[in-house]
A and B are shown apart, each in its own frame.
Chain A
Amino acid sequence: MTTGLLLVDDHPLVLDGLRAALERYDDITIVAEASTLASARDQMGNPAVDVILLDLRLPDGSGTELLREAQELPAPPAIIVLSSFMTPQYINAVISLGASGFLLKTAPTDEILAAVAVVADGRLAFSADQIRMSRIVGWAPLTPREHDIIAGIMAGRSNDELSADLGVARKTVEAYLSRLFIRFDVATRTELGILAEREQLLALPVDRRR
């Protein structure tokens, strides 16, 4: 089975380069390309799209909007952000917005391929360095959903119960948990619960972002 890709970038040279680098692999199909936020929006619901390679700067808006909107789809595609810049704030922002991976645009094709394979499998593709960098900004506000999930874990709810409570797929709950594990440097639900209790995580400001 091949992985369907949607490439989103407004620069023709970047799109050409990515296509040239990726199209020769049999397990990857480039389903569509988009150079604006609007056309990316139109295509992200396409069931053939498994993974989106997303630029943050688009002529008609920010890639962060697509990240946010994708989370509301019934079966959201995994999104890898390809950015020109990589600092802890970028990593923190894309993790909290639900991205599954983050790479520089100049990253070697091998790294892009490996990340695509990992996220297509439902896992996260952040490197150890990125995870370490993202913790520098651990004070950042929680999203409302992160807040709900931490509250659920502290109340001893299982993943299935959380999925029912919040009205989202079990897989979505798991993805959120993975990101929270990364962010707070824990390996299990129990550890996250203990940390949340000790560090008063629920007292962190909650982002009003809609």
Chain B
Amino acid sequence: MKLRERGSTLRGGKGSAQRTAGVVGRKVMSLYASGIAFASAIAGAVAVVLALTGSPLPGLVTDDSGGVVLSVDPGGFAWRSGIRAGQRVIAISAVDDEAGWSIETADDNEQQRATAGAAATTLRLSAPVAVTALVLGLFGLVAVPTRRRRAELLAGLSLALASLPFWLGGDAILATLVGVLGPLALTIWALRWLELQPPVEAVLGTVVVTLSIAYAIARTQGSALAADLEGARFAGTLALAAAVLMASLDLRWERLAGLLARLRLLDAAVGVVVVAAAAVLATILATPIPIVAMVAGLAVLAYLGVRAGVARIADRVLLAEVRDRAAVNGAEEERARLSRDLHDDPLQALAGVIHRLERQPDTAVEREALRTVAAHLRDVATELHPPVLDDLGLVSAIEGLRPADSEITIDMAITHGGYSREHRPPPDIEIAVFRIVQEAIANAIAHSGCRTIRIEGEVGRDHVAVDIVDDGRGVTDREIEAAMRDGHMGVASMRRRADAIDARLTHRGTPGRGTTVSVRWPP
């Protein structure tokens, strides 16, 4: 799936009729944003009240004598307990504090029992979801005047969450309304703010609208089909919310794949906690599976959004030593070690021997031969790992990236704190940023057709900010994705290196106006 931001420009708008339509459209959409934000805040508030008071409707009608079940609403808790129309009522127990009232029914084969207390407990368990929905709805309301894109997204997510307590509450009309509004709002957001392919837009719109109408009819008519459609609605809403959230957080598949490829101890720990919590919810607290899935999915998505920050804090607190060894890219570390070994032993020994030979007469030829060997060793060491990176740091090493015989002008202006270790970022940060800048320059020279590359920024002990700006044709994300499919891994490898040090890498190409690659550590 390809998801890109469209911004707020309207499509078309060439003729005056279209322009008028555009103005009207803008007004309608502005009203829509306010409306959906209000709706979501109200739905969130009602959901909180519902979840906290916890008195779900059974959705059950018996005949006047209370002997036979006449109808069962597929949204009420009686349906969830397996009670169906036509069953005989065996007993309706009185209210007691522990379990609330309960009803027992039987058909030809088996008995069913529905307990108001158990349903109320489940409804109360959805309180965190309701509170989240309310908070998102309120944030959405606040965002309406300035950030319409965000407001509509928050409203959609809020409604999607609020539908859960409504469904558990069992009121057919309200649950249907909120249940349909959530996926519709998310779909409208995706159509409006993401640059989807037209066929995808058409299919998405048609499927969501059709399913919503079918669900609404089935649910309000009390049709048995509603129970099946409820599952589809849940899964669909969850998938839609996840996709839309990923698109808005700019979590692309390549990045997710990159994350998966570099799972860390912390990720495993979070995974175990989520699975354990889900297991407790599902078994001990008997929470319905859709709720568990929704809560777990939200937890995972939220974690992905804040993963870099959590990882850094956890590392500082718990894993500083482990990380020092583990986080450095293994291959890079090995190359640096080889380069240092070459320098520390053979190269030094050669220098010493050459000076000793100076005392022996007639050794000029031998000394010259040894100097040639030393020069070769220097080249190998430099090829493995730029020694300037160890001796003088990132800024000097970037200076050395200026290609000697290129037509392209490279301007550099990076301020830095000094050449000694205590004024420089840690070695793993230096080498990673160095390789990113190296790749960015190589990409600009190879693909952008630029004449000038400007490298600017600031490097200090605890921060790095470097921008690589070219004046070429502007390489867009779309081209990069196409190039990656063809096996060119330049940008992917920059991202991998940035991920390995929890830095942020951004790549912005504007057709005709150049490309900017930015690295920020910390992000």
Contacts and interface: CB of A to CB of B under 8 A. Distances in A.
B371 A106 contact: yes
A140 to B, nearest CB: 7
B418 A209 contact: yes
Interface residues of A, number: 42
A105 interface: yes
Contact of B420 (A21, A61, A105): A61
Contacts of B378: 84-85
Contacts of B374: 106
A209 B348 contact: no
Contacts of A92: 396, 399
B354 interface: yes
A138 B390 CA distance: 22
Nearest to B401: A89
A89 B388 contact: yes
A5 interface: no
B348 A21 contact: no
A200 interface: no
Nearest to A19: B355
B392 A89 contact: yes
A109 B351 contact: no
Nearest to A11: B348
A205 interface: yes
A89 B356 CA distance: 29
A66 B148 CA distance: 58
A105 B400 contact: no
A135 to B, nearest CB: 12
A18 B412 CA distance: 38
Contacts, number: 125
B419 interface: yes
B195 interface: no
Contacts of A136: 402
B367 A108 contact: yes
A62 B359 contact: no
A205 B415 contact: yes
B358 interface: yes
Contacts of A21: 355-356, 358-359
A14 B413 contact: no
Interface in A65-113: 65, 68, 83-85, 87-90, 92-93, 97, 105-106, 108-109
**Residue of A64, A87, A106, A109 with most partner-chain B CB within 10 A:** A106
A140 B455 CA distance: 12
A137 B354 contact: no
A199 interface: no
Contacts of B107: none
Interface string B344-360: 10011111111110110
A87 B400 contact: yes
Contacts of A68: 418, 420
Nearest to A82: B351
Contacts of B381: 85
Contact of A93 (B348, B352, B358, B419): B419
B462 interface: no
Nearest to A59: B344
Contact of B392 (A20, A93, A139, A210): A93
A109 B357 CA distance: 10
A20 B354 contact: no
A209 B415 CA distance: 9
A9 B400 CA distance: 25
B416 A207 contact: yes
B449 interface: no
Given A17-B355, A21-B356, A108-B367, A62 B348 contact: no
Given A84-B387, A88-B400, A97-B419, 6 more contacts: A11-B352, A13-B348, A24-B359, A85-B381, A87-B400, A106-B351
9 contacts: A61-B420, A64-B418, A85-B382, A89-B392, A89-B399, A93-B396, A109-B358, A205-B413, A208-B417
Interface of A: 11-18, 20-21, 24, 56-57, 61-62, 64-65, 68, 83-85, 87-90, 92-93, 97, 105-106, 108-109, 136-137, 139-141, 205, 207-210
